[in-house]
Chain A
Amino acid sequence: MPASKAAKKAPQDGTYGLPEATLMGLYEYLMTTRMVDERFRKLYRQGRFAGTYYSAVGQEATTVGPTYGLRDEDIIAPSHRELGAAITKGIPLVEIFAHNFARRNSPDKGKTHPCHYSSRAKGVMVAASTLAGQTVVGTGCAMAFKIMKKDNIVISFFGEGATSRGGWHEALNFAGIHKLPALYICQNNFWAESVPSTLQAGIEDFSDRAKAYGFPGITIDGNDIFLVHKISNEAITRARTGEGPTLIECKTYRYYGHSEIDPADYRRDEEIEVWKKKDPIPRAEKILLDIGLLTMEKRESLVERINQEIEDAIAVCEKEEYYPPEEAYNDVYSDQFPVRREEY
């Protein structure tokens, strides 16, 4: 469609012409992700689960937006700040909480790193902490879909810092050669743990990297959930129809430290305040209130419902047992090769 015609048709109310059900759906997942995330931070500080926790508060729109509306067979290749993708892809809240609590009802049986939510049933692969590793694996899933002539797609999520990894470049290079059904979402939150993006790359827009691999790259406002969804959806349609991959850089911000033990004192308070004014939730709410899709009463009852779901999930998980420690011997190989038991 010519640009002029598209501009005429698109409404100027911030909805980009998305259907009402999609607008409300996106908003609900955005809200759920924020509330679960803040609840996890509290639980961690209360010592109710071990290890660490990686909050994604502030950058939820970048994970919820692209994931909303995917099929179970589509694959998410996540990093460690993709709570929003995990929830939006359909992993039940009980499993989300069970994962960080490392209880019996966690899909990974308590064996992997915190915040590495996974579900075979829902097409969320388990992450690894060697960043961009999942981008390589996810690209392999996309290669398989092409070989099998299936029209499923793969979304790989990563921060701007991970784009410095060699494997990331190998993956995007391969995806470009073979026009794989892949979408690459770069969440540029300007800080890779403590290293600013200016020390990460000599470019301002990380989407520029796509040029080198022969497919489109675009930089967008990552705190506009409706825009993120619209742009991703267009890229997903291209991927499904054999037109190849897209790199979307979502500029966004994480409000807290890299993990809960990081005070993030490498950043200036003013910088955080600027970004808080661009928070994705009030922005979405204003648009929905303006068009009359949301009312304050509806908002309240939604918050109440999500709160209830969260507390119910926590109650289930905290009652759940850990696996017996001997479970450590399982899932090393297929049943053909049981691991030898040691006697100490």
Chain B
Amino acid sequence: MKTVSFIQAINEALFEEMERDERVFLIGQDIGIYGGVFKATKGLLDKFGPLRVIDAPISEVYIAGGSVGAAMVGLKPVPEIQFADFITPSMDQIIQQAAKMRYRSGGQWTSPMTLRVCCGGEVGGGPYHSQTNEQWFFSQPGLIVVLPSTPYDAKGLLKAAIRGDDPVIFFEHKKLYRMIKGEIPDEDYTVPIGKAAVRKEGKDITLVAYGLMYHKCLQAVETLEKEGLSCELIDMRTLLPWDRETILESVKKTSRAVLVQENTKTGGVMAEVAATIMEEVFDYLDAPVQRVCGLDVPNAPFAPPMEHFFLPNAEKIARVARKVMEF
């Protein structure tokens, strides 16, 4: 075992998969000579050369769509969108091409690629460097959507994504890049896509989150446990297809749930989780399911107090959990 940061875990996964499979190549802005704005691709150009680490022009349509084409004829592209905020130009290629390629060709053509997208707030990024927009992709069958919260999962899920046969939108929360360190094995491993992780078992209440919000929940759980609550904490890890079974089983056990997402509330991932809990395990519930989410405003505002106000945090989560317990 060794201890690495989140960004090191990403870099190692890319390095190892490129070494393991010559079909894997990278394309994105500033990923080559510069090594990526967060250094996720540091050293890869020197090791693998300009045919496999391509510094792209400012062309998000092409970065996504060109990768679809390369995947169709046998390569394993790992394109990068530098900030989730800049993914909008490539939506056509992601939704109309990548997500629908297998389906609309009746399984003849596939586009297995892993689109890495740096996302997330609490970094003072304002409207164009702090968005989380996984919910746009979450509602598009044909895509896999992954958003890990630990270095171990980041490396294992990225490897699983690259080795898979489906298009994956792989979100990396930029706040976690250097904030979080964790242990990973020295040897090769993958983490299965589509499986949530029960990070902590408990019997009174279930908290569900992913990405940075998983860490916020972890802080909330520390407080709540001191108050005598037994909390179960689930990290979704894969958002589409999401692990219904693990979440539903947990809620059946605890009968209470608080769902936390950084993204704006309306139409988000947790709306779907809440609806499914209601559809499937209504009889087990002792209180209404509650959500703690980003505010329903166009973006995280820039001024630090306003950004803080916009985002969920441990205090908000703990308050909502107590309310659910008191119901």
Across the interface, which residues of B come within 8 angstroms of A310, CB to CB? none
Across the interface, which residues of B come within 8 angstroms of A112, CB to CB? 104-106
B62 touching A177, Cβ below 8 Å? no
B107 touching A109, Cβ below 8 Å? yes
Interface status of A190 (Cβ within 8 A of chain B): no
Interface status of B4 (Cβ within 8 A of chain A): no
Interface status of A339 (Cβ within 8 A of chain B): yes
Name the interface size band of chain A: 35 or more
B96 touching A111, Cβ below 8 Å? no
Residue of A at shortest CB range from B61? A167
Residues of B83-109 at the interface with A, using a CB-CB cut-off of 8 Å, are 89, 92-93, 96-97, 100-109
Interface status of B306 (Cβ within 8 A of chain A): no
A143 touching B108, Cβ below 8 Å? no
Interface status of B180 (Cβ within 8 A of chain A): no
Given A111-B103, A139-B62, decide whether A333 and B166 contact each other with a Cβ distance below 8 A: yes
Interface status of A4 (Cβ within 8 A of chain B): no
Residue of B at shortest CB range from A99? B106
Given A108-B108, A126-B104, A166-B89, decide whether A173 and B59 contact each other with a Cβ distance below 8 A: yes
Of the candidates B66, B102, B107, B142, which one forms a contact with A140 in the assembled complex, judged by CB atoms under 8 Å apart? Answer: B66
Q: How many residues of B contact A (CB 8 A)?
A: 46
A108 touching B92, Cβ below 8 Å? no
Q: Mark B8-31, 1 if CB is under 8 A from A, else 0.
A: 000000000000000001000000
Given A133-B97, A147-B70, decide whether A334 and B166 contact each other with a Cβ distance below 8 A: yes
Across the interface, which residues of B come within 8 angstroms of A133, CB to CB? 65, 92-93, 96-97
Q: Mark A92-132, 1 if CB is under 8 A from B, else 0.
A: 00000000000000111111110010111000011011100
Interface status of B110 (Cβ within 8 A of chain A): yes
A-B pairs under 8 A by CB, number: 162
Query: What distance in Å separates the Cβ of B245 from its nearest Cβ neighbour in chain A?
Result: 11
Residue of B at shortest CB range from A330? B107
Across the interface, which residues of B come within 8 angstroms of A113, CB to CB? 104
Binding site for A on B (CB under 8 A): 25, 51-52, 56-57, 59, 61-62, 65-75, 77, 89, 92-93, 96-97, 100-110, 112, 141-142, 144, 164-166, 193-194, 241
Beyond contacts A136-B62, A173-B62, A337-B194: 18 other A-B pairs, Cβ-Cβ < 8 A, are A75-B73, A129-B96, A133-B65, A136-B97, A140-B67, A140-B69, A142-B69, A144-B75, A148-B74, A167-B61, A167-B62, A167-B65, A170-B61, A171-B61, A332-B142, A333-B142, A333-B144, A336-B164
25 pairs, A vs B, C-beta closer than 8 Å? A108-B104, A112-B105, A120-B108, A125-B72, A126-B104, A126-B105, A137-B65, A139-B65, A139-B66, A139-B69, A140-B65, A141-B72, A144-B75, A145-B73, A152-B73, A166-B89, A167-B65, A173-B62, A174-B66, A177-B57, A330-B107, A331-B105, A333-B102, A333-B241, A337-B166
